[in-house]
Amino acid sequence: AALPSLLAWLAVLLLGRARPADACSCSPIHPQQAFCNADVVIRAKAVSAKEVDSGNDIYGNPIKRIQYEIKQIKMFKGPDQDIEFIYTAPSTAVCGRLLDTGGKKEYLIAGKSEGNGKMHITLCDLVSTWDSLTPTQKKSLNQRYQMGCECKISRCLSIPCFVSSSDECLWTDWAMEKNNVDGRQAKHYACIKRSDGSCAWYRGMAPPKQEFLDIEDP
């Protein structure tokens, strides 16, 4: 009688330990924040993928990762050398980011550097197909986002909301467009530091001058 009870207890214990890995949640983030937080931001294609071992966990079990071999098209932020491989967890349940391979689909990919031409991405990093980006977002990757990395973008959860400091921009897409993280401000605006040290939203195709004063508020 003791054996079935012991087996049942072990099953409950194992199921309980597995649950934290069953889901991955990410906080909404403006594309500029994703750019500023990343070590590496590139435009690239994934040409192949394979599962590889990446050391062992604390129990001695092998840690699996997906290794993507990529073709870098352009680097917007990162080291001097090209990125050759991108690593991620093997499934979305553990925050892995899956890419189409074959070299046909181009991506904008932001993530953490692992050195030696390698980077790591998760489900919470900025990974978008290049064709899905707006012209403003593409232009902002070259200079505009970087100009605002000292600014703070705060997500407005409900109207009204207010800035708490002069170096802050309110991201209102979440409140104004029914929890949309890909709204007007995400697509067409960057939060940029002005010459007086304050920060404000900027909209325009041309890169702004450091001392710009004409702001079009969302």
Distances (CA, A) of 156 to 5, 28, 120, 165: 51, 11, 29, 14
- pLDDT of res. 208: 53
- pLDDT of res. 180: 72
Q: Name 20's bridge partners.
A: none
- Sign of the Cα torsion 29, 30, 32, 33 reads negative
Which helix (H) or strand (E) covers residue 9, if one does? helix 2-18
Domains of the chain: 37-132 (2.40.50.120), 134-217 (3.90.370.10)
36 is in an annotated binding site: no
Taken as a whole, the chain contains a residue count of 218
Give me the tens of pLDDT residue by residue for the chain, a chain 218 residues long.
444 444 444 443 343 333 344 468 888 899 999 999 999 999 999 999 999 988 777 887 888 999 999 999 999 999 999 999 999 999 988 899 999 998 889 999 999 999 999 999 999 999 999 999 999 999 999 989 999 999 999 998 888 888 889 999 999 998 887 767 789 999 999 999 999 999 999 986 555 554 444 444 44
- pLDDT of res. 158: 85
pTM of this prediction? 0.80
- pLDDT of res. 204: 67
- pLDDT of res. 62: 81
- Three-state SS string across 86-134, please? EEECCCHHHCCCCCCECCCCEEEEEEEEEECCEEECCCCCCEEEHHHCC
- pLDDT of res. 143: 87
- pLDDT of res. 181: 76
Cα–Cα distance for residue pair 163/156, rounded to 1 Å = 9
